Amino acid sequence: MNVLITGGAGYIGSHCSRYFRAQGVDVTILDDLSEGHREAVGDARLVVGDCGDGELLSRLFAEKTYDAVVHFAAFTSVGESVAEPRKYFHNNVENMLTLMNAAVDHGVGYFVFSSSAAVFGEPAELPIREDHPQRPINPYGETKMIGERMLADYERAYGLHSCSFRYFNAAGDAEDSAIGESHQPETHLIPLVIQAALGKRPPLTVFGTDYDTRDGSCIRDYVHVEDLASAHYLGLRYIMEHGTSEQFNLGSETGFTVLEIIQAVEKVTGLPVPYSLGARRAGDPAVLVAGNAKAKDLLGWDPKKSDLETILRDAYHWELKRTY
């Protein structure tokens, strides 16, 4: 099977690309390296370019027959999307549309899409299942919701089958520390807590301690990036076998508060985490926890690495050994 993975040099894309290759899939990565890392690609075939470059896509699709596109390339910062929506709609919507058009024009039948829990906005009920209403509260979430809707219309009109995955909080790193999370700047809780424990950055600020949760800090559902990778493979196989389109929420169905993450990092690393209690960050829902029954039932997905200890152990090892 030949698969084109856009954003395959990024955090989730690189773990997915590695997993697909371990399953015997022939992977070509398309990444402009604006946020991705060459080191994350390993010895996979890398084409450096923009997934919104129609001419480049035509060349790629003409020179090789691809069975599927797996689309990760996107901007992912909620706060930045509020400040610069133009940048987000251009990359996450316009470029995705160009990619979908190229796929359809060249007879690619399957499209796997990296969506987000951000499509749901403030949860009306927990855990958040696939049929939860979609009311995104920021441009980032809007772009992902639009992506899913474009895919639904392209299936009806052009028969492009797709699988969309709404990730909750992607975390952890490859078990062997060969690849891992590296954002510039880093904004995600787990790497920040570990780096603070190692003295690599100033003390962490806990964003908000007056939420209606067990200790007042926000609850999130952390899912191991290698479990996300296996879900993408299973999802692609599923839509190929069944000729349908599906959406899945990917999480562990277990939530942890920010303060619980700090305590768990102290336990895993044996280091004290310096932190202070701060104000809420705008736009943060109090609790986000995924319902994952659909992925388990339909795909046979088994998120066996998504217990907090495994996530934090792999994240700590990556932080000690990171090469990029």
Judged by the rule CB under 6 A, the positions of this chain that interact with ligand UFG are 76, 78, 116-118, 140, 169, 187-189, 192, 204-207, 218, 220, 258, 281, 284, 288
Other beta carbons within 10 angstroms of residue 30's beta carbon come to 27
Q: Which residue is catalytic, options 11, 66, 140, 211?
A: 140
CB of 59 to ligand UFG, least distance (A): 31
CA dihedral sign, ordered 88, 95, 10, 129: positive
Smaller CB separation from ligand UFG, 28 or 292: 292
Q: In a 3-state reduction of DSSP, which class is residue 45?
A: strand
> What does the alpha-carbon distance between residue 198 and residue 202 come to, in Å, rounded to a whole number?
10
> For ligand UFG, which is the closer residue by CB, 195 or 310?
195
- Least distance from ligand UFG to the Cβ atom of residue 64, Å: 31
Tokens of 10: 């990024």
Examine the residue annotation and report whether 140 is marked as an active-site residue of this protein: yes
Shortest CB 140 distance to ligand UFG, Å = 6
Residue among 211 and 238 whose Cβ is closer to ligand UFG: 211
Nearest to 42 by CA among 4, 9, 5, 3: 9
Q: Minimum CB separation from ligand UFG for residue 146, in Å? A: 14
C-alpha–C-alpha distance, residues 209 and 222, integer Å: 19
How far is it, in rounded angstroms, from Cα 122 to Cα 311?
Answer: 26
As measured in angstroms, the least distance from the Cβ of 209 to ligand UFG is 9
Based on its alpha-carbon atoms, the radius of gyration of the chain, rounded to whole angstroms, reads: 19
Residue 129: CB atoms within 10 A of its CB come to 14
Q: How far apart are CA 123 and CA 286, in angstroms?
A: 9
Q: Which residue is nearest to ligand UFG (CB)?
A: 218
Percentage helix, strand, coil for the chain under 3-state DSSP, each rounded to 5? 40, 20, 40
**C-alpha to C-alpha distance for 137 and 150, rounded to whole angstroms:** 19
Please, which residue, 129 or 188, has the CB nearer to ligand UFG? Answer: 188
Cβ-based nearer residue to ligand UFG, 11 or 61: 11
Enumerate the active-site residues: 140
